[in-house]
Amino acid sequence: MTAVADLMDYAEVVERYDPVLGLEVHVELNTNTKMFCGCANEFGGEPNTHVCPTCLGLPGALPVLNGKGVESAIRIGLALNCEIAEWCRFARKNYFYPDMPKNFQTSQYDEPIAFNGYLDVTLDDGEVVRVEIERAHMEEDTGKSLHVGGRTGRIHGADYSLLDYNRAGVPLIEIVTKPITGAGERAPEVARAYVSTLRDLLRALDVSDVRMDQGSLRCDANVSLMPKGATEFGTRTETKNVNSLRSVERAVRYEMTRQAAVLASGGTVTQETRHFQEADGTTSAGRTKETAEDYRYFPEPDLVPIAPSREWVEQLRKTLPEKPADRRKRIQTEWDLTPEELRDLFNSGAVDLVEATVAAGAKPDDARGWWVNFLAQEANAREVELAELAITPAQVARVTELVSSGELTNKLAREVVKGVLAGEGEPDEVVEKRGLKVVSDDSALLAAVDEALAAQPDIADKIRGGKVQAAGAIVGAVMKATKGQADAKRVRELIIERVGA
């Protein structure tokens, strides 16, 4: 059993030490094929079915560079305000690990395709922090190891391991920040906000699905501490493959408190990789961290250098979408949202769907209400993404139109949406098939009102006596009798007229 590490109180940490962060984010691209071969770039699948001699590193197999992957790398670099190299090349990063079938990773070393950029990050209170980008370079992903047996899911204590090479060779862009200093007590928050902002940017670029839960966006968090007033950085640790925004913040905070306790006790921090434990928010030691020399980098002999023309780079610059920060400001202004409403909208992942629904004719509040509330619940119940629901923004817009015109109540509208989700057709077809249109014929409504009043004469007396709010009970009875298809406003008017109140 692993001993619990000594920790320093966080307030004391930031009083005595200055944290230094370095964040390395790995992004799996959404190209159709892998980086250097024609195998399908798809998440999941039966183990070892998306493989070929090239991504398995078999003798004689030669790589061919994925052009779409290069295009995505350049667009990412441009969006991060980077310089784009006029000439760069791949290198071999040599190391032995079971999930690297070639015993080397094709990556970029001293000649990345994008470098010297920045990303402005807005914290929760509106403060803007500029995070400097060291580089964004191309490489390939590794396979996956499954350690069977044991309690941790890691190799130590496992009975045996299984290897799946479907992910080997998947296109990756690694985005590396320059050292982030001066964040102080807000260092964990800055780390989370940076990864969140970067994720939004990559999603807007449509270069990756950025699913942290599936590993298509992973963060390695480097943390070191230096005593107040010191000028040299401390020894860093690298917490690997942190896979949620909350975990990035927790991992940085934990490492700060752990390292501070080590330093305060007279110990030294070991330069190593560490694993984040989701269950309790701690980190545990992995392996001693290698240096660049340990990887024995040398130029990849099987791939020619890359020299993107300036014309092509400028053409790609024109394809960049509206920056997420600018989009947030525009949407907040156009739709008159509070900061809390804006945050909830973006956290729901429904922004594109809501915008498309508004473009189809719905009011912003109506569109937001359907996607963020009712449809989000339906997606959760089905365990799918919002965009995977079998309903289009145009169909949602039509439902809001039927409600606005009085042809549907909100309750009936939910039934219509359920019908569309069930594949019963367009909203108007579902209304006809299920007989859901609002009953607005006064004669039919009066019959239901008279029946309800006769059943509750005491309520009728209260209404006549001036307690008009008591009419709600009769309205409820009529709505029940008409299966929710009555116009509640008109029913209330008829009740008042009937009792002569």
pLDDT digits (tens, 9 = 90+) for 193-219: 999 999 999 999 999 999 998 889 999
Element (H, E) at 46: none
Tell me the torsion sign for CA atoms 179, 181, 184, 186.
negative
Nearest to 428 by CA among 443, 441, 417: 417
Rounded Cα–Cα distance for residues 245 and 198 (Å): 11
pLDDT score at 488: 63
pLDDT band of residue 116 (cuts 50, 70, 90) is very high
Can you read off the two tokens belonging to residue 100?
């690297």
What is each CA distance from 192 to 117, 144, 184, 255, 468, in whole angstroms?
19, 26, 14, 14, 54
Percent of the chain's residues with pLDDT above 90:
62
| Count of alpha carbons within 13 angstroms of residue 463, beta-carbon side | 23
- The pLDDT tens digits of the residues spanning 314-327 come to 999 999 999 888 88
C-alpha count within 13 angstroms, C-beta hemisphere, residue 262: 20
Residues 6+ apart with CB under 8 A from 122: 128, 129, 193, 197, 325
pLDDT for position 294: 80
pLDDT computed for residue 439 by the predictor: 54
Higher-pLDDT residue of 435 and 333 is 333
Q: 């501070």: which residue's tokens?
A: 260
pLDDT in tens, 347-402: 787 898 999 999 999 999 999 999 999 999 999 999 888 888 999 999 999 999 98
**Given a cut of 50, is residue 271 above it in pLDDT?**
yes
- Which of 8-12, 58-62, 217-221, 346-350 has the lowest average pLDDT? 346-350
Average model confidence (pLDDT) across the chain: 88
Domain boundaries, the chain: 10-293+301-312, 322-434, 442-500
Taking the C-alpha atoms of residue 432 and residue 419, their distance in angstroms, rounded to an integer, is 11
Q: What's the residue count for the chain?
A: 501
Q: In CATH, what number does 442-500 get?
A: 1.10.10.410
Distance of CA 176 to the CA centre of its chain: 19
pLDDT beyond 50 at 1: no
Cβ partners under 8 Å of residue 270, min gap 6: 235, 237, 285, 288
pLDDT classification of 2: cutoffs 50, 70, 90: very low
Q: Report residue 491's pLDDT band, with 50, 70 and 90 as the boundaries.
A: low
The pLDDT of residue 154 is: 72
Contact 221, 215 (CB under 8 A): no
pTM of the shown model: 0.78
Q: How confident is the model at residue 342 (pLDDT cuts 50, 70, 90)?
A: confident
Q: What pLDDT is recorded for position 407?
A: 78
Tokens 């989000």, residue?
A: 376
Cα 108–114–116 angle (5° rounding)? 120
The angle that helices 351-359 and 393-404 make with each other, rounded to 10 degrees, is 60
Find the angle CA(222)-CA(348)-CA(33) to the nearest 5 degrees: 65
Bigger pLDDT: 14 vs 407: 14
Which residues neighbour 314 within 8 Å (Cβ) at sequence distance 6 or greater? none
What sign for the dihedral angle of Cα 344, 347, 348, 353? Answer: positive
Q: Which long-range contacts (CB under 8 A, 24 or more apart) does 131-134 make?
A: 131/23, 131/177, 131/180, 131/190, 131/194, 132/177, 132/178, 132/180, 133/80, 133/81, 133/82, 133/175, 133/176, 133/177, 133/178, 134/176, 134/177, 134/178
With beta carbons less than 8 A apart as the criterion, state whether 252 and 242 touch: no
For the chain, the C-alpha Rg in angstroms (whole number) is 30
CB of 397 closer than 8 Å to CB of 391: no
Report helix, strand or coil for 353: helix
**Among 174, 108, 109, 97, which residue's Cα sits nearest to residue 143?**
97
- The DSSP line for 248-289 is HHHHHHHHHHHHHHHHHTT-----EEEEEETTTTEEEEEEEP
